[in-house]
Amino acid sequence: MKKLNNIELFAGAGGLLDGFEKTGNYNLIGAVEWLKPQVRTLIHRLDSRYGIQDAEEKVLNFDIQRTDELLNGWSEDPEFGTSIGLDELANGKTVDVISGGPPCQAYSLAGRIRDKNGMKDDYRNFLFEAYIRVVNHFKPKVIVFENVEGILSAIPTGEKIVDLIHAAFDEAGYEIVDDLRKYALLDLTEFGVPQKRKRVIIVGIRRDVDDVDYQALLKDFYTNTLSTMKVDTKSTVRDAIADLPPIYPLGEPVKRQAYENNSGVNGHSVRFHSKRDQEIFHSLAKDIEDEEFLYNSSDKLIELYYEKTGKRTNVHKYHVLRWDEPSNTIPAHLKKDGLRHIHPDSSQKRSITVREAARLQTFDDDFEFNESQVSNFEMIGNAVPPLFAEKLGGLIPGLLSEIAQNRIKERQNEISLFDVETLEVIE
């Protein structure tokens, strides 16, 4: 099978791209990401795992909002250096797929709660416009656009973001499914991801033929094709992380190190937690182990937080992972603290590590995270789980084949109609 040429926008560390690469169906033209830790991580992954030796050239460290330069190249930029740009990387090749999703913080419900203006002033609300400009330029056959559930309700400027997205794709000549909440909002636990993670996965088709029912094609893809990738039994925290070496607290912290942290596994070390936090983690995890469930309500957890810290909060800060359930969502917020991702083993008295977060996001252990702990947690939390991406990426060629067949049928119908009309003229 001929490989599909793809461009990845807002690539991050490459969760979506990693899944696509695993299928063997794609030829990467270029990936765009503006945060340097993510760029370095992605370049290393593409080189070490997939043997893409020109990865440093293909992964463009740039601001997508500067679209003209992104396409045509730029030189001696004080922040982003020099690059030939996407057009030269494509080198006249047809771009079959453009994928990616703008940063989700501006659309997330949690972000809107924390921000006093409800994220209305966040520039990231309209980064999808840059995505559309690149799509308009290359006119790929298919687009894949991923984001958080909150995008379905975000109204930063008086008009729903999803309405703006529908209108923008329509104007660009692409069909996306009309009811995004019904079809495109997916629970990734149903696809084997050991984590409660709902995401909007928009698949769009370029309209080339007037009489093809693209809505029917898309609805069939979501309902009958993508659904075949669902699992019978959901994966759990135990499935994901139980085999990793345990990490126990030291008797006394040493130079801001409170845990043994000598596992030898990439990313498997614990951030500093005070004795107070360790006691809280132990109590909460032990409560579940002993099946006492003294802290099984938000009010009790809020009360505990005040009791231990003297600080008031309207939302509870603590959550212990359950061994035999999927994890709660792995967010970028993990870079700030791990209070809502407490390890279920009470004796370890800790939050989860970068490697455990990566496991819950379905990154392979050979996917290395070598940046700061803050950056590692951020890029993992913002990623598309590679396991789901691999399943989705494996289905895109079939969708393209179905589209092509419909186009052929339509052209045959047009030819037949032309022949009949010609015959009538001759007669």
CATH number for position 123 = 3.40.50.150
Of the residues 361, 381, 401, the one at which a domain ends: 381
Residues 227 and 247 in one domain: no
Residue 258 and residue 273 in contact, taking contact as beta carbons nearer than 8 Å: yes
Is there a domain that residue 358 lies in?
yes
DSSP state of 232: S
Domain co-membership, 145 together with 8: yes
CB 45 within 8 A of CB 368: yes
Q: Which residues contact 7 (CB under 8 A, 6 or more apart)?
A: 28, 29, 30, 31, 32, 86, 90, 95, 97, 98, 99, 134, 138, 140
In 3D, which of 179, 274, 192 has the Cα closest to residue 235? 192
- How many structural domains does the chain have? 2
Residues 145-188: tens digit of each pLDDT: 999 999 998 887 778 888 999 999 999 999 999 999 999 999 99
Q: Say if residue 201 is in the same domain as residue 265.
A: no
User: Domain check: are 151 and 224 in the same one?
Assistant: yes
Same domain, 362 and 393: no
Q: Residue 29, SS3?
A: strand
Helix axes 386-426, 15-23, angle to 10 degrees: 60
Q: Are residues 284 and 311 in the same domain?
A: yes
Token reading at 2: 């001929």
- Residue 418 resides in a domain: no
Domain co-membership, 111 together with 142: yes
Task: Look at residue 228 and tell me if it is in a domain.
Answer: yes
Instruction: Assess if residue 355 is contained within a domain.
Output: yes
pLDDT for res 22: 98
Give the max Cα distance, the chain. Answer: 100
Range of the domain at 78: 4-235+386-413
pTM of the full structure: 0.90
**Residue 427 included in any domain:** no
- Establish if 280 belongs to a structural domain: yes
Least confident of 119-123, 216-220, 388-392: 119-123
152 and 223 fall within a common domain? yes
- Tell me what percent of the residues of the chain surpass a pLDDT of 70: 90
| Shared domain check, 18 and 93 | yes
In a domain, 421, yes or no: no
Tell me whether residue 145 is in a domain: yes
Same domain, 344 and 391: no
pLDDT in tens, 367-425: 999 999 999 999 999 999 999 999 999 999 999 999 888 767 666 666 655 555 554 44
Q: Are residues 149 and 201 in the same domain?
A: yes
What counts of helices (H) and strands (E) characterise the chain? 16, 12
Question: Do residues 57 and 90 share a domain?
Answer: yes
